[in-house]
Chains A and B, each alone.
Chain A
Amino acid sequence: MNCSKAEKLLLRQAEGALDERTSSCLEQHLAACERCTQEMADLREMRGVLLSVRTPAPKPSVDFHSRLAAELRKDTGRQAKRWPAILSWPVPRPSWALATAGAAALVAVAGYLHVLPELQTGTYKTAGAPPAATVRTAPSPDATLPSVASKRAAAEKSPQTSSAHGLRIDRNPERSSALHPGGTLKQRPASPALPEQAATDKRPSVYTRLPERIAGLPVSASGMSATEKDTTLEAVPEDTTPGRVTKPLSAMRGAATGGSIAPMAAAPVTGSLPPSLGFGEDRAFHVAANREPEDDSRASARGIAERADAVQMVYGSIDARARALFTY
Chain B
Amino acid sequence: MQAESAAGIGRLPGQTTESFRTRTTDNPDALLVQKAQEGDVDAFERLVERYERTVYAIVARMIPSRDDAEDLAQEVFLQAWKSIRRFRGDAQFGTWLHTITVNATLKRIQWLKRRDALSLDDPELGLWEHVADDSGNGPLDVACSAEARQAVQKALAKLSDNHRMAVVLHYFEDYSCDEIAAMMQCSVGTVWSRLHYACKKLKADLGTFQASLAEQVET
Task: List the interface of chain A (C-beta within 8 A of B).
Answer: 7-8, 10-12, 17, 39, 42-43, 45-61, 64-65, 67-69, 71-73, 75-76, 85, 88-89
B11: min CB distance to chain A, Å: 10
Asked if A56 meets B77 with Cβ closer than 8 Å, knowing A8-B192, A17-B177, A50-B171, the reply is: no
1/0 contact trace for B1-45 toward A, CB 8 Å?
000000000000000000000000000000000000111010011
**Residue of B at shortest CB range from A73?**
B41
**Residue of B at shortest CB range from A92?**
B85
A/B interface sample: 21 pairs, CB < 8 A: A7-B196, A8-B196, A42-B199, A42-B200, A42-B203, A45-B210, A45-B211, A45-B214, A47-B171, A48-B217, A48-B218, A49-B202, A49-B214, A54-B171, A55-B134, A57-B56, A61-B70, A68-B52, A68-B77, A69-B41, A72-B78
Task: List the interface of chain B (C-beta within 8 A of A).
Answer: 37-39, 41, 44-45, 48-49, 52-54, 56-57, 60-61, 66, 70, 73-74, 77-78, 81-82, 85, 129-134, 136, 139-140, 143-144, 152, 167, 171-173, 177, 189, 192-193, 195-196, 199-200, 202-203, 206, 210-211, 213-214, 217-218
Smallest CB-CB A-B distances: 4 pairs: A57-B57, A46-B199, A50-B171, A60-B56
Contacts of A45 in B (CB 8 A): 203, 210-211, 214
Would A68 and B74 count as touching, CB distance under 8 A? yes
**Residue of A at shortest CB range from B156?**
A50
Which applies to chain B's interface (DSSP): helix, strand, loop or mixed?
helix
Would A57 and B77 count as touching, CB distance under 8 A? no
If A46-B203, A72-B81 are given as contacts, then 14 extra A-B residue pairs at C-beta distance below 8 Å, sorted by A number, are A8-B192, A11-B199, A45-B203, A49-B152, A52-B140, A56-B134, A58-B57, A58-B61, A58-B129, A65-B45, A65-B52, A68-B74, A72-B78, A76-B41
Which among B56, B81, B132, B203 is the interface contact of A53 at CB below 8 angstroms? B132
A5: min CB distance to chain B, Å: 12
Provide the bound-state CA to CA distance between A291 and B216, in Å.
112
Contacts of B132 in A (CB 8 A): 53, 55
**Residue of A at shortest CB range from B132?**
A53
Would B130 and A58 count as touching, CB distance under 8 A? yes
Contacts of A12 in B (CB 8 A): 192
**Residue of B at shortest CB range from A51?**
B171
Would B74 and A67 count as touching, CB distance under 8 A? yes
Would A60 and B73 count as touching, CB distance under 8 A? yes
**Residue of A at shortest CB range from B54?**
A57
Which among B44, B53, B189, B192 is the interface contact of A60 at CB below 8 angstroms? B53
Would A59 and B56 count as touching, CB distance under 8 A? yes
Contacts of B45 in A (CB 8 A): 65, 69, 72
Asked if A71 meets B78 with Cβ closer than 8 Å, knowing A45-B210, A50-B171, A53-B144, the reply is: yes
Which among B52, B167, B193 is the interface contact of A64 at CB below 8 angstroms? B52
**Residue of B at shortest CB range from A74?**
B78
Provide the bound-state CA to CA distance between A76 and B44, in Å.
12
Contacts of A55 in B (CB 8 A): 130-134, 136, 172
Contacts of A89 in B (CB 8 A): 37-39, 85
Contacts of A72 in B (CB 8 A): 41, 44-45, 48, 77-78, 81
Contacts of B144 in A (CB 8 A): 53
A70: min CB distance to chain B, Å: 10
Provide the bound-state CA to CA distance between A67 and B41, in Å.
14
**Residue of B at shortest CB range from A76?**
B41
Provide the bound-state CA to CA distance between A73 and B77, in Å.
12
**Residue of A at shortest CB range from B214?**
A45
Would B210 and A49 count as touching, CB distance under 8 A? yes
Contacts of A17 in B (CB 8 A): 177
**Residue of A at shortest CB range from B195?**
A11
Would A65 and B48 count as touching, CB distance under 8 A? yes
